[in-house]
Structures are given as C-alpha cells and as structure tokens.
Chains A and B, each alone.
Chain A
C-alpha cells in the first residue's frame, strides 16, 4: 500500500540551529513533492515544491532535497527561530492526478 512517513516525534531544537525533517514514501511515483507548514487549528500553508527531476530547492532559510532512488525528501530550516515552531507536512502528487497525499506531519519546537 502507499505510505508517506514522517517522524512522529517532535523535533526540539535550539534557536539558531538547523532543523532537518525527513519524509519517506513507498509505492508512489511522485511527479512532485511539496512541503507545507501547519499551525494548530489552521490550514496548511505552502512552503516549497520540488519536481521529481530536481535534486534541491531553496527559498530563504528553507532547503528541500529530493532523492527518488531513496524515495526520500529532506527539509531543512537553517538559523531556526521560535516563530518556525509548527508542524511541517510533506505532500506528494503522483503522475496522472492532482490530489495532494499528505504525511502525518512532524512537529518542530524551536527553543529560545
């Protein structure tokens, strides 16, 4: 069956350090992969998109890598700030459809 797995344990990180989150998937052929941020009781907010033929994407303090051989994406927040505390969701879109299939998300807590 298709699975998108993110670490269920919260990541506690000191302000200024780099937070790294992992998204692993099985039985998908993703056309592209996206990362979203979700705050409690709010809708997901789009952060970055990376296509299956791209290795890395950056946006300000955020960086995403995509390895289709390992079936894995890494999401990095550099110079983390308390305002980065949230849950980060990995979402895949497979060829032939336009739905987003989400992982359960990984909570990040940035400690001042």
Chain B
C-alpha cells in the first residue's frame, strides 16, 4: 500500500540555523500539507499546497517558513532561522483530492530538536 515518507526521522539543529524537512507524498495525490505537533499538544496545520502553489496557510506559517515541490515527487518544508519554539514533530500529509476523497494520509514525521 502506498505511503507518505519523510526524511530525516530526527533532526537536531542549533538555533538560527536553516533546516529542510523532506517528504514524498503518495504519487497520485494532488494536495500536500505540513502539520506540526509540539510535545503533548494537538496537531496544528501549517500550510497546504496544490497545483504548485500555497492554497492555504496558518498564522504559524510566517516568513521563516517556505514550502517547495522541487520535482515531481518531493515536497519540502524549509525553516530559515530556527527558534527553540520550532522544536516539534513535523508531519507531511497528502490527499487524493479527486471526487470526494477528503481523508489525508500522514507520514511518520520528522522530530525537529532546536538547541
């Protein structure tokens, strides 16, 4: 069964450094998402991406964040200058988006630790 994959599984970085989190969504899916989950808290929406552009973003997704689909398979989240409060699990998700398929399929996550 097709799955969303994410790399790396764990990233440790120093405050102020740039990080790129990578995702490979399910191949025939059209909508792509990033969410984050701070330890012990709820899963929070960051951004959605469709047809090679951002379709929606939350107030968390400020100028420090960017997303890109550099080729036909990868979907990346870049954090330009990491802060301590960016430490969280980051989940990529994808949705087929055809007809009435509204369920989202999540990857295993990347644990980002900012020191």
Contact = CB atoms under 8 A, between A and B. Distances in A.
Interface residues of B, number: 26
B91 A98 contact: no
B58 interface: yes
A44 B43 contact: yes
Contacts of B33: 99-100
B107 A105 contact: no
A34 B95 CA distance: 13
B42 A102 contact: yes
Contacts, number: 57
B44 interface: yes
B103 A99 contact: no
A49 B48 contact: no
B31 interface: yes
B109 interface: yes
A32 B102 contact: yes
Contacts of B56: 97-99
A46 B104 contact: yes
Interface string B29-59: 0010101000001111100100000011010
Given A44-B106, A45-B106, A46-B104, A98 B31 contact: yes
Which of B35, B42, B55, B111 has the most chain A CB atoms inside 10 A of its CB? B42
Contacts of A62: none
Contacts of B103: 34, 46, 49
Contacts of A93: 102
B44 A46 contact: no
A101 B45 contact: yes
B105 interface: yes
A45 B44 CA distance: 15
A89 interface: yes
A105 B42 contact: yes
Interface string A11-27: 00000000000000000
Interface of B: 4, 31, 33, 35, 41-45, 48, 55-56, 58, 89, 91, 93, 95, 102-109, 111
Interface of A: 32, 34, 36, 38, 41-46, 49, 89, 91, 93, 97-105
